[in-house]
A and B are shown apart, each in its own frame.
Chain A
Amino acid sequence: MNKFEYVNASSVKSATEQLQSDGSVRIKAGGIDILDELKERTINPKRLVNIKTVGGLKEIKEVKDSLHIGTLVTLSELASNKQVKTLFPALAEAALGAATPQIRNVATIGGNICQRPRCWYYRSEEFSCLKKGGNECHAHLGDNRFHAIFGNDKCAMVHPSATAVALVALQAKLKIEDTKGHRIVEIDNFFVKPEENAKAENILKPTEIITEVILAKPAVGSRNFYIKLKEKQSFDWPMADVAVAMEMAGGVCKAARVVLGAAAPVPWRAVAVEKALVGKKVDASVAEEVSRLAIEGAKPMSHNGYKLKVFETIVARALSVVASGDFSSKEGF
């Protein structure tokens, strides 16, 4: 890695004041992904601004009908927080399934959402790809077993964040700050597809920081859940994951969000499934039937056709769990 300056910020203001529009100054929270990027030489910043020294960003607060999660809340804290576990099991589960206990103890929610792709072409110095200013996506002609089955025409990366999948299902909002003030962004408008900007995965400017994740408490009768498939049982990004949030009345689905992870360059809403669920009394057989719609429009590549079957399966399982409300039975699958 290159040599860089390291400074501790005392406030959001002092942190944002140091940021540069050319990206030469980087925010460091838990330091997990940024350290990887430094070591892999995908970035060469002049300065790292440590925001772990900033007060007030580590709390999970209840504000009226919402939960405000500070950007520095760690994955461990999310996974063990009583309110998160009760109201947003999908998020708790996504946080718990990430990385290892040691990493979860330092990795933050803000950093998790903003982590860069795990695509092995992007991470390797040997390959210059669209994300790094090159002119091709090597996954199209190379080994693409972990790549996208949706939205993969240009860059076939998959978004690596598991918590992002849950947060899209839960319709989170993000509080983003810079020197001029703050804005609140719907998470649906946060992630960007490669067609819009191949070099970034979201709308965050180099001069901005996410300071809070805001979740509205779910309506009565709502349930949410998350399932992740991985190759090894610890320290692994999703091979495929899904988050489901459903609002129900008398067993009938009123509204649903079904979001696929590791499927596309952004957390991918299975809109056809969401629509098909509305008005249905969801049980295991309905879950299986509608799960087939999850892969509608998919364009698998040469090595990732298996993902079609896998997504159908985990969507069906997640819907069954949500419909039954029996979260303990997930081990039975």
Chain B
Amino acid sequence: MTVGQSVNRKEGRDKVTGAAKYVDDYHFQDIWYGKTVRSTVAHAQITGIEFLAGFDWSTVVLADYRDITSRNIVALIYDDQPLLAESLVRHVYEPILLIAAPTKELAELAAKHVHITYKKLPAVLTIEDSLSAEQKIFGDDNVFKSYTVTRGNVEDAFQSAEVVVEETYHVGHQEQLYIETNGIIATAKSDGTILIQGSMQCPYYVHRAIKELFGLPDEKVVVVQNVTGGGFGGKEEFPSVVAGHAALLAKKCGHPVKIVYERGEDFVASTKRHPAVIRHRTGLTRDGRLIAAEIDLTFDGGAYCTLSPVVLSRGVIHALGPYKCPNIRVTGKVVATNTPPNGAFRGFGVPQACFASEMHMENISRKLDISPVELRRKNMLHQGDYTLTGQQLTYSVGTQQVLDAVLERSDYLARRSHKQPELSNKRYGIGLSFYYHGGGFTGSGEEKIKGQAAVELTAEGTVRILTASTEIGQGTRTIFSQIVAQELGLRPEDVEFEENDTSKVPDSGPTVASRTCMVVGRVVQMAAASLKEEMAKRIASLAQCQASEIQFEGRHLLWQKDGEIISVSFAEAAERCMSRTGFLKTTAQYSSPPGIKWDDVTYSGDAYPVYAYAADVVEVEVDMDTFEVKILKVTTATDVGKAINPTLAEGQIEGGTVQALGYGLFEEVAWKDGKILNNRLTNYIIPTSLDIPDMETVLIENPYPYGPYGAKGIGELPMDGGAPALVAAIADAVGAVVTEIPATPERIMEAMEKLAVEA
């Protein structure tokens, strides 16, 4: 049994010994370096580009939008974002001009000699300004996309509510901060093929973007993922921009072109988590039962649409949290501003929605004087219940298990009645959050993608997996090799991987949406099962036995003949299977579990095949003079379906929780005139190891019948609940609820002052 074991990370040795080759480790003799000249203003007409004297312009190659042979777009959803600005710039840092030079220094020097003049236009920099639509920057109302989801009769239900609780919550930007910054090398071959290699999550996104840019057929664009130092969603759609720039320069200068961003550039140029304003109005019975809810979410999309409609959609669907409410209306919109486009980031709209909904539960619990635990127990979803899109939950609903487990493991009830030390200026607080996250693409997404993966026998008699799912540090290769090894009676080390190259591997769909294990892992499992079946069939015909009699165990194929056990090694069996054809490869494709229905128009039905559930308990100590918060302990319980590799699953949960605690306590992008002030790790504050306490991570396995061995997607889930549990703990300590994160000392002080005024 290898599934369920914490086998070593497949690529771990290479990474810790430095053998792993990241894009910046590739050096070609004739390589040139690309530099991007960006807008310095938020909204303006470009009136002129001047190439100053004092620089020898014959030593570099320049490219602008006129060099794009097909469509000047970063192909994604609306295709509204130009790869390079033409006459208008819509945000600071928007790319305008590209420079390629034989050295980085020369490219930089050239960039210093470019002078761009602008005619400034009024800039829309906040959600409020965008909503007022005084300055129109997208359509008539600055709205990229809106949704309304309705269930029951909301107006009537509010009439009968005994208590109504209303509050507005604010969350800001968050930067993904993968360790390796964005980087691409592009090569334009003499036959017209464009070769892209670099750091990315989704090779096929880049593939499509480059095809659109130059009007090329599939086979003329080859995209290869190099070892990638983290993504967190930040390398979902953004690498298409870097790849487009590098490809344009490579075509023009005739050299391979490398663009690797420095941290400061990566920070300002790449996408971030959407800021949001979320209003909750909730009608309840006196004893705390939800009977009516109105939730309105407004997300700041930035200057271009990117993935905003899908991010918002997930936020809307998760807006209530894992609770029942028969009468509900959720409205959501994502608006345009003259700030850098926001995009994918682990959680994808849910961390914003979950902060608001869980803090609202905290507020309701205070207003009704019902304990946070009782309020959750009264309203939580159970098997058989319906979500706000009308989805009936028929399997793998771990709500009660995660709540029970986290309360027990953290000793929540006893610790909540913890007496405050009387002579100290420190206050202890404990907070709870309870949440869920849909695995895989929303609605009909997976049906549209129909992700594929393949498995083949190698000449050495082992097995190779072919998938476009990328290893970005989360353990794709390890768990896939465990799944295949399990199916074929092999060891994970007997399983290798085809290079993640669009000319070699099928499109498994992007490495996003907590879908790699649950969706693609299942497809990989199916492909391995087909391979097993085909091998059994071929061996059976040679051995003159029934295929169904052949067992795959301990790196051998076994069957009985005349009461005797016959065994042949897997490698030998593989060789025999390939003796005639020379290869054996099986491909599988995703299909939705039976009975899944989704309506894209009414936004109703089965939004996700399954949800993963979790509950967090965070304990803090707050300094009542300075309002500094020290996190004492974090306990989480997560219904993962099945942990293919428990250590990796715990790693996902712990890492996601740390990111969530950073979101709740520290991380804030500071702005002036549309420019980012803190684009470096010295002043964009993220938790260090000294800021994070020990964590207790409880895994609960409530199998999902259509996942590999029961596994559900958990990549994003742990990003959702940390911030509200933390802020609830602060509220428990100081008595006031902070409604905007990060919960800085100033905000805690303001919340306490506000509470004092109200009292």
Interface positions of A (Cβ within 8 A of B): 2-3, 36, 39-40, 100, 118, 120-121, 123-124, 126-127, 138, 142-143, 145-146, 229, 231-237, 306, 309-310, 313-314, 332-333
Contact = CB atoms under 8 A, between A and B. Distances in A.
Interface of B: 40, 92, 105, 262, 264, 424-425, 623, 625-626, 628, 666, 670-672, 675, 677-683, 685-691, 745-746, 749
Given A2-B105, A143-B677, A313-B625, A236 B685 contact: yes
A237 B682 CA distance: 8
B672 A306 contact: no
A231 B685 contact: yes
B670 A229 contact: no
B114 to A, nearest CB: 14
Nearest to B678: A120
A232 B264 contact: no
A142 B674 CA distance: 11
A124 B745 contact: no
Given A100-B688, A120-B677, A306-B745, 16 more contacts: A3-B105, A36-B682, A124-B677, A126-B40, A138-B672, A143-B677, A229-B628, A232-B666, A232-B686, A232-B691, A233-B690, A233-B691, A235-B682, A236-B685, A309-B625, A333-B623
A316 to B, nearest CB: 8
A40 B264 contact: yes
Contacts of B691: 232-234
A145 B689 CA distance: 25
7 contacts: A36-B682, A39-B262, A138-B672, A142-B677, A145-B746, A233-B691, A306-B745
Contacts of A123: 680, 683
A233 B688 CA distance: 7
Contacts of A235: 681-682, 688
A120 B745 CA distance: 20
Nearest to B40: A126
B106 to A, nearest CB: 10
B671 A143 contact: yes
Contact of A310 (B424, B626, B675): B626
A310 B687 CA distance: 21
B165 to A, nearest CB: 30
A333 B425 contact: yes
A85 B425 CA distance: 28
A163 B560 CA distance: 79
A138 B746 CA distance: 22
A313 B682 contact: no
A262 to B, nearest CB: 13
A120 B684 CA distance: 10
Contacts of B745: 306, 310
A2 B671 CA distance: 28
A232 B690 CA distance: 8
Which of B40, B105, B682, B690 has the most C-beta atoms of chain A within 10 angstroms of its own C-beta? B682
Specify the main secondary structure of chain B where it touches its partner: loop
B633 to A, nearest CB: 16
A234 B689 contact: yes
A59 B136 CA distance: 65
Nearest to A237: B682
Contacts of B626: 229, 309-310, 313-314
A143 B674 CA distance: 12
A333 B678 CA distance: 30
B570 to A, nearest CB: 47
A39 B262 CA distance: 9
B751 to A, nearest CB: 14
Nearest to B681: A235
A233 B621 CA distance: 14
Contacts of B671: 143
A118 B690 contact: no
A81 to B, nearest CB: 23
A234 B672 CA distance: 27
Nearest to A99: B682
Contacts of A332: 424
Contact of A234 (B40, B105, B677, B690): B690
Given A120-B677, A126-B40, A313-B625, A143 B672 contact: yes
Contacts of A124: 675, 677, 679
B95 to A, nearest CB: 16
A231 B424 CA distance: 21
A31 B678 CA distance: 22
Contacts of B675: 124, 126-127
A142 B670 CA distance: 10
A232 B687 contact: yes
A123 B675 CA distance: 13
A120 B670 contact: yes
B670 A143 contact: yes
Shortest 9 CB-CB distances between A and B: which pairs? A233-B690, A234-B688, A142-B672, A120-B677, A313-B625, A234-B690, A231-B685, A143-B670, A126-B675
A3 B675 CA distance: 28
A111 B379 CA distance: 59
Nearest to A303: B746
Contacts of B689: 234
Contacts of A313: 625-626
Contacts of B105: 2-3
A237 B687 CA distance: 14
Nearest to A310: B626
Given A121-B677, A332-B424, A306 B749 contact: yes
A291 B165 CA distance: 42
A310 B744 CA distance: 13
Contacts of B685: 231-232, 236
Nearest to A236: B685
B706 to A, nearest CB: 42
Nearest to A143: B670
A252 B382 CA distance: 68
A233 B691 CA distance: 6
Nearest to B692: A233
Nearest to B92: A126
Contacts of B425: 333
A284 to B, nearest CB: 11
A35 B672 CA distance: 26
A163 to B, nearest CB: 17
Contacts of B666: 231-232
Contacts of B682: 36, 118, 235, 237
A15 to B, nearest CB: 26
Nearest to B109: A2
Contacts of B92: 126
A311 to B, nearest CB: 10
A306 B92 CA distance: 30
Contacts of A309: 625-626, 749
Contacts of A310: 626, 745
Which of A118, A143, A231, A313 has the most C-beta atoms of chain B within 10 angstroms of its own C-beta? A231
B690 to A, nearest CB: 4
A75 B284 CA distance: 59
Nearest to A123: B680
Contacts of A118: 682-683
Nearest to B688: A234
